[in-house]
Amino acid sequence: MVLPEEQPRTYHSVISHLEVKLPDNPMRYSALPNVNPEEKGIWAGSGINADNVAMTATETITSNVRVLGADPLVVYTPAQNGESEKPGGIGEEDIVVLVLPYIHSAREGVMRLGSLLEEYGTYEMNGIAFSDQDEVWFWKASAAITGLPAVCRTITIPLSQTALSKTPLISMTL
């Protein structure tokens, strides 16, 4: 369990060396972290916050060279030959910690992640799911997304339309 007072106000990514200023109002949340955070970062694969919003950020996906040619990944570049290091974007290591403590619904999770990806990009491709009592959203980030509008392929599944109610699922592309 991560309490609000334990949540950093500046997040430091171990893999991409990125620093992200965080809001001052985090909620309590659970996280399933990496076994060795010093080596690879917190790597919280999933969690649930105090507003009962859940997320997972551990689905690794792939893309193709045409997509990555148009929007390349934002990869960490170490300092070399007198040049400063260049931080990478956010990735699986970072997503739960940067998003889950600050959202009150699955839809807010999509919006917060979208704004973070728009600003920082990503160094890898991921599938991320958000759920609350009313909806489930699935986000597929298959390119860096930096500077692009914060929309990606998502599937919204109102809980009233899940397999439990035997109603077909509705998918939408934004």
Q: Is residue 96 pLDDT above 70, yes or no?
A: yes
Q: What is the bridge-based pairing of β-strands 19-21 and 46-48?
A: unpaired
Does residue 72 or residue 173 have the better pLDDT? 72
Q: Where do the DSSP E strands lie in 61-145?
A: 126-131, 136-141
Residue 20's pLDDT band, with cuts at 50, 70 and 90, is very high
- ∠165-170-173 over CA atoms, to 5°? 160
Calculate mean pLDDT across residues 118-146.
80
Residues with Cβ < 8 Å from 163, sequence gap 6 or more? Answer: none
